[in-house]
Amino acid sequence: MAKDLYEVLGVSRDATEDEIKKAFRRRARELHPDVNKAADAEDQFKELNEAYDVLSDPQKRSAYDRFGTIPGAAGGGSPYGGGYVDFEDLFGGGFGMGDIFSSFFGGQATGRTPMRKEGRDMGVGLRLTLEEVAAGAKKEIVYDRLAPCPDCEGSGLGPDGREITCPDCRGQGRVVTVQHTFLGDMQTSATCKTCGGTGHTIENPCPECEGQGRVPDRQRVTVEVPVGIRDSQQLRLSGFGEAGMHGARPGDLIVTCRIQPHEFFERDGDNLHARANVSIVQAALGAEIELDGIFEDEKVLVRIPEGCQNEQVVRVKGYGMPKFRSESRGDMFVHVNVVVPKKVTKRQRELLEQLAEELGEDVAKERTPFQKLRDAFN
């Protein structure tokens, strides 16, 4: 039997969203492999993260409460489609909650290099359909980051807490040590381990964030995708990257748009290319055919010119992609494929032979026994 997810987090079944978040952060600090050196620490952390993935999402939690299985797991029988927008980490390797906690632990004073207070930029790749690009879309992205601590509002101060000058470096951020050797006194300077090079420490720090002013959290943000955006074009969401320490400037979230291939259209800048089949009669005499456009329920009338050749391209103005930050559209280019029938009836053959005679063209008139038998049935 799989473990109860509520037991894994150590919360009751009626726990609030905030209680679930705090319980996860508390348990994650105990189990993260950077802190816990037990042989099974990594497995326990993965189990904890899986429980949080389900219970922190309202849809997944509801499904788990109803069916007792993990939504999306093999045999789980998830009753709904995935609630997350598909995204990929631009910096490779995946960037999940485990990596966020590693950054959190790395935010503590190490004594090696000055502690970075400003938040770093983060990047995700958002996958879009061509229809979404044409119409514009609002997409929800769910990602993990170091977010401002909700208990201290990012200050890092606990009850009656205050920022004081570091007593070890006296606000300099670096500690000078002198070693007495037979060659004389040698002086070295290193980042202060107590304050991490900031020159300040916190008296009575916030217990939730341990004085950093930020905590690992799961962030939901809605991205407005503008009409006509190009593949690999980036959107910058100010302040939605990694939170800074003690209220320092946060980083930005950089969203790179990844446009998926379309089954019918091929995009070329603001233009669309499509293929259309026409018969030899339509190609010879000309015709009007109707194709589906890029917008829902949009119909495009394509006029096939008389004497149209195979692979000829017909241009339909104003039915391409909407242009970025413009009210105009590109064009649609229809590549004509003249379809020659593989089989014809006896009557159709007679008509084609008459046409060939009218045009002065030589055609095969000898019929094979099989063709004669087939014509007899036709």
The pLDDT of residue 33: 85
pLDDT grade, residue 205 (50/70/90)?
very high
The pLDDT of residue 253: 94
Neighbours of 360 (CB within 10 A): 6
pTM of structure: 0.77
The pLDDT of residue 84: 43
Instruction: Judge if 281 and 170 occupy the same domain.
Output: no
Instruction: Judge if 269 and 335 occupy the same domain.
Output: yes
The pLDDT of residue 165: 93
Instruction: Judge if 289 and 328 occupy the same domain.
Output: yes
Enumerate the β-bridge partners of residue 273.
266, 333
Instruction: Judge if 327 and 358 occupy the same domain.
Output: no
The pLDDT of residue 375: 62
Q: CA dihedral defined by 279, 280, 282, 284, rounded to 10 degrees?
A: 170
The pLDDT of residue 184: 74
The CATH number that applies at residue 47 is 1.10.287.110
Instruction: Judge if 221 and 200 occupy the same domain.
Output: no
The pLDDT of residue 193: 82
Least confident piece of the model among 30-34, 40-44, 76-80, 165-169: 76-80
Task: Answer whether residue 373 shows pLDDT above 80.
Answer: no
In a domain, 196, yes or no: yes
Question: What are the pLDDT digits (tens) for 328-342?
Answer: 999 999 999 999 998
Query: Is 169 within any annotated ligand binding site?
Result: yes
**340: nearest Cα among 287, 291, 282:** 282
Q: Which of 137, 170, 205 is the last residue of a domain?
A: 205
The pLDDT of residue 226: 96
Task: Answer whether residue 82 shows pLDDT above 60.
Answer: no
Instruction: Judge if 130 and 221 occupy the same domain.
Output: yes
Which residue type occupies 202?
A: I
Q: Which of the two residues, 246 and 367, has the higher pLDDT score?
A: 246
Please, what is the average pLDDT of the chain? Answer: 86
In a domain, 332, yes or no: yes
**195: nearest Cα among 158, 228, 234, 156:** 156
Task: Answer whether residue 366 shows pLDDT above 80.
Answer: no
In a domain, 194, yes or no: yes
Instruction: Judge if 135 and 18 occupy the same domain.
Output: no
The pLDDT of residue 269: 95
Q: Say if residues 274 and 336 touch (Cβ distance below 8 Å).
A: no
Task: Answer whether residue 83 shows pLDDT above 50.
Answer: no
The CATH number that applies at residue 296 is 2.60.260.20
Instruction: Judge if 248 and 326 occupy the same domain.
Output: no
In a domain, 78, yes or no: no
Domain range spanning residue 186? Answer: 157-205
In a domain, 92, yes or no: no
Query: Is 308 within any annotated ligand binding site?
Result: no
State mean pLDDT over 144-164: 92
The pLDDT of residue 374: 65
In a domain, 59, yes or no: yes
The pLDDT of residue 189: 85
Instruction: Judge if 178 and 236 occupy the same domain.
Output: no
Q: Which of 44, 70, 96 is the last residue of a domain?
A: 70
In a domain, 105, yes or no: no
Question: What are the pLDDT digits (tens) for 209-249?
Answer: 988 899 999 889 999 999 999 999 999 999 999 999 888 99
Q: Which of 261, 276, 296 is the last residue of a domain?
A: 261
Enumerate the β-bridge partners of residue 125.
88, 256
List Cβ neighbours of 145 (8 Å cut-off, separation of 6 or more): 100, 122, 216, 217, 219, 240, 241, 242, 243
Q: Say if residues 86 and 141 touch (Cβ distance below 8 Å).
A: no
Task: Answer whether residue 26 shows pLDDT above 70.
Answer: yes
Query: Is 149 within any annotated ligand binding site?
Result: yes
The pLDDT of residue 113: 59
Query: How many domains does the chain divide into?
Result: 5
Task: Answer whether residue 1 shows pLDDT above 50.
Answer: no
Instruction: Judge if 60 and 174 occupy the same domain.
Output: no
In a domain, 88, yes or no: no
Task: Answer whether residue 35 shows pLDDT above 60.
Answer: yes
Task: Answer whether residue 79 shows pLDDT above 70.
Answer: no
Q: Say if residues 146 and 214 touch (Cβ distance below 8 Å).
A: yes
Instruction: Judge if 270 and 324 occupy the same domain.
Output: yes
Task: Answer whether residue 88 shows pLDDT above 60.
Answer: no
Query: Is 257 within any annotated ligand binding site?
Result: no
The pLDDT of residue 229: 96
Question: What are the pLDDT digits (tens) for 96-125?
Answer: 677 787 777 766 544 455 667 899 999 999
Instruction: Judge if 235 and 189 occupy the same domain.
Output: no
Which residue type occupies 313?
A: V
With 0-12 / 13-18 / 19 or more C-beta atoms within 10 angstroms meaning exposed / middle / buried, residue 200 is middle
The pLDDT of residue 77: 38
Share of the chain above pLDDT 90, in %: 56
